[in-house]
Amino acid sequence: MEYVAPAIQLILGLGILNVWLLRRTKVTAYRGGGSPTLREEFRAYGLPDFFYYIIGVLKLTAATLLLAGIFFENLVEIGALLLAVLMAGAFAMHLKIRDPLIKAVPSVALLLLCIVLLIIK
């Protein structure tokens, strides 16, 4: 059981880093509104361009906190809370533009992992 929390932290942290650093310009089946890139996805949601940068910094911060939390446990709760709020917002954006629910699966899955992490920590 002692490895469950660090495993979840790795999944969350590396998953966010992957999306925001490596795959932000790549087409995926989960982008809202059929957008080809992460930036275009924000536009599909009707958000101002600067939100892309604000949310990006917040998500990268949350990912960093979760990964650092493997060694410094006091960072886990804030990272998980921050990411949970962001994932709830991502889910809401999919609902806002009436995306098929399948597109919201990653945000809901990460939100649930954040909740599990908060419960077991």
pLDDT by position in tens, the chain (length 121)? 689 999 999 999 999 999 999 999 999 999 999 999 999 999 999 999 999 999 999 999 999 999 999 999 999 999 999 999 999 999 999 999 999 999 999 999 999 999 999 999 8
Q: How far apart are CA 39 and CA 37, in angstroms?
A: 5
Contact criterion met (CB below 8 Å) for 20 and 60: yes
The structural domains of the chain, with segments of one domain joined by +, span: 4-120
Q: What is the DSSP letter of 19?
A: I
Q: What pTM does this model have?
A: 0.95
Torsion of CA 58, 22, 9, 93, to 10 degrees: 50
Amino acid identity of residue 108, one-letter, is V
What 8-state DSSP symbol labels residue 52? H
